[in-house]
Each structure stands twice: as C-alpha cells, then as structure tokens.
Amino acid sequence: MTRRVPASTARRLSHYLRSLEDLESEGGETVSSEELAERGQTTAAQVRKDLSHFGSFGKRGLGYRVDELREQLRQILGVDRVWRVALIGAGRIGSALFEYPAFESRGYECVAIVDSDPKKVGTRWGGLTIRPPEELESLIAGLGVELVILAVPAQAAQDIATRAVNAGVKGILNFAPIRLKVVAAVAVEDVNLVMQLEALSFSITQLGSEA
Amino acid sequence: MTRRVPASTARRLSHYLRSLEDLESEGGETVSSEELAERGQTTAAQVRKDLSHFGSFGKRGLGYRVDELREQLRQILGVDRVWRVALIGAGRIGSALFEYPAFESRGYECVAIVDSDPKKVGTRWGGLTIRPPEELESLIAGLGVELVILAVPAQAAQDIATRAVNAGVKGILNFAPIRLKVVAAVAVEDVNLVMQLEALSFSITQLGSEA
DNA sequence: TTGTGTGAATCCCTTCACAGCG
DNA sequence: CGCTGTGAAGGGATTCACACAA
C-alpha cells in the first residue's frame, strides 16, 4: 500500500472493473493477475502494482475473489455512488450522449441541460427542460451538480467552464477542442475526435515510412 | 533528427498544428517554441524536442515560420491528403460523427456507411446509401477505404474489426468499449466515454481523499 | 506448489543546460 | 544577442525477480 499513483492508472482500473463484471456474469469466483492482464492488454506485474497502490486484495497462491475485487474497484474509482451531471450544449454530441445507455446505467445521472439557442430553451428531453445559460450557476448550486459535460463550441467553452467551476463543479468532460484552464482541484478529461483522427493518420504515416 | 518518437508525441503535434492555424489567422509570421508551448500547455523544451524528431524547422535566434511549420506538421501528421473513411454503425454516435463539421473539413471523407439493421439498410444519409454488413469487404476494397470508424455494439466489434483489417484497413477509430486485437501494423484509437467518466470520478475521489 | 506484494532494476520520456548558428 | 537543436541528467512508470503467505 504505497501512495503515489501513476496518472495512467485510472484507465487500467476502469478496464479491470469491466473485466471483473464480465467474469462475474461468466460465473468466475476467483481470478489471477495473469488472467486480468490478458483481458486488459497489460501484464500481470502491472495489474498487481496497480492494485497494490490501494491495498492488498488478493490471497497468495489463490488470486483475487471476483466479487470482492469488483467492489473494491468500484470504491477506488468512485463509481459506488450516483454522480449528478449537467449537460451543457444540446447539439448532436449532447443528444448522442444523453441517450447513451451506459451513461445512466453506470451511475451518471443527468439532472440539467443547458443550451444557448433560444429555440431549444424550454423544450423537453426525456423528463428535463432545456435551460438558458444564465441559469448555469443556479442550476449547479441548486441541484448539487458535480460533473459537467461540456459540448459547446470552442469559443464559448472556456467561459462556461470557468463559470461552472466557480459554481462548484468538480470535474469536466470536455468535448471542445481547446485546453481548458482551470484550477488544479478540478479534473478535466478531454474528448477530442480531431486529435484522435490525426493520431491515427500519424501512426499510419509513420509506420508506413519505416524501413 | 533522431528517430524513436515517444507515443505521446502525436497528440502534442496535433495541438501545435491547431495553434499554428490560429496564429496564421491572427496574422503571425513567426513563432517561438516558448509561444507554442504556452498555447499547448507544455514546455518550450518539449516543443523543440518533439519537432527535432522530424527535422530542423526553425531558425536560431528567430523561431519558426508559421506557414512553413504548419505545412511540415501537416505532412508529419499525414493530414496533407484526404483519408477515405467508412462508418460502421449508423446509430447515435455514427450520426453525430457523420454530421461533425470538423470531420469533412479536416480531410476525412466518409465514402461508405454500413449498418446491420435491415430497416436502415438502403436509406440515404447525405449522398450515401447505408449498406449491409455482408458488403463490408467489397466496399473497403472497392472504394480504397483506409480508416474505419467502428460505432457498433461491443459484441460485434471484434469480428467487424478483424474483417475490416483483412480487407485492407490501416486504422480504426473504435467506439466500442473493448480492447480490439489486431495486428501491430494497424493503428487503433479508442474512444471510451465510460472510461473517461470513470477517470473523472477517480480523480475527484482521489483528490478529495488526500491529506 | 501457486500466485501475491514489493523493493530493485530497467526503460522511456521529459527537462536541463548549453554549444552553436543566424 | 536570441533562440534553436541536442547530448546528458533526471524522474516516472513499467518490468523483473523473489520473499513469503496460503
């Protein structure tokens, strides 16, 4: 149980959790670091190191109990509870996300939708009414929103992000193609499809031009 | 000009390219590594190191010519040409991507759409007719598709990916929440929103539970 | 014997610092 | 003098290898 967790750990933990859920539905009782590694495209040593940052969950000679480890991982990842989310920007991306089944089923509850288009404000999505941007702060404070999904154009993103953070938001899933400047206490995850497409064409181009 | 490019380089190069485009529209002629670093949330040394892997594009005492470096970066990233893309899965995500303006404007041309739902097959999106999955291989080969956007359910993803690779695809933008197994010569970029949401809740949970 | 937990060794990436060119 | 390009140093993260517990 050492502290000092590498930044890349979260993605792997998330993957282990998914594997454990699969194993459980397959009826597995225990699992070894070896088997988790195989499913997660990593190494057994990496699995053990990742877990060791948070405690000792396995039994030597036996492996890990699937249900126990799954529960531990849910706690570590902070998904053993419901997160209240506001969706900012009710465009294509926003709508795709809003109807994304894994979203609600995994404990992320959308409690507010905001859009700056007067034609959209007032219309209903599911059980929610789209609100205007002026209400951003009061919605966040009033509904106890902790996460924001930022799906607005690039020029509006930084301003909205700053306001959301000042209103008390703890994390931002950012779809705008800019690097947001926020205080260190706020977590930001960027989803940047252009960047990922360019990473693809880069890999292909570079792989192709090797001896 | 050393080879051996760190894996994380592509994302930064993509960001530099975006910054250079901004600079150009602002009328800047030259730019220093310092200034690029500021816009890219990195350090001047990192910028110079990143670029040095591919050549010497700057002038000492002066910096980099904006238009020159932009052109070089477009070549390095492989975005100085049009990539032919097939969209597999015409659901919510597929439709959001298909109408994503940056997609076409940045040189990614969607030349085929495939979906397994018989009700969707035959309908038209833009100028394209949705094709059934049986035609996957012939579409890829016939149209010279190099990139595939995989927006299908998890259970179907690996099979489709394997078939696409066998048919000649070079890169996959994967929205299915699984780790695809493909030969090393094929590039894969994963877009996994559940994982990113969990990375957010992880950061918040861990940040919160520190001293 | 099996498979975890973990210090030590290794590897890779970033940062430093400066020689050298414009 | 200013700023790049780059070997060398430094720091993190991964991998190794083994003591030890079940």
Ranges of residues in chain A whose predicted pLDDT is under 50: 211
The set of strand C positions with any atom below 7 Å of a protein CB reads: 1-7, 12-17, 20-22
Q: Which of A5, A97, A199 sits opposite B10 (nearest CB)?
A: A199
- For chain B, 211 residues long, the average pLDDT of each consecutive 10-residue run is 85 97 94 96 97 97 97 97 97 90 90 97 95 98 98 95 98 94 94 95 85 43
Q: Is strand C within 7 Å of residue A5 (CB)?
A: no
CA distance A77 to chain B (A): 4
Tokens 């800019």 belong to A178
**Partners of A130 in the β-ladder:** A113
**Partners of B114 in the β-ladder:** B88, B131
> What is the pLDDT, as a whole number, of residue B89?
97
Residue A113 φ/ψ, nearest 5 degrees: -130, 135
pLDDT digits (tens, 9 = 90+) for B49-107: 999 999 999 999 999 999 999 999 999 999 999 999 999 999 988 999 998 888 889 99
Chain A environment of B97 (Cβ under 8 Å): 193
Q: Is strand D within 7 Å of residue B59 (CB)?
A: yes
Chain A environment of B83 (Cβ under 8 Å): 197, 201
Say yes or no for a CB contact (<8 Å) between A187 and B170: no
Q: Is strand D within 7 Å of residue A195 (CB)?
A: no
Rounded to two decimals, what is the model's pTM?
Answer: 0.93
Burial of B167 (0-12, 13-18, 19+ CB in 10 A): middle
Rounded Cα gap, residues B84 and B110, in angstroms:
6
Tokens 């994963």 belong to B190
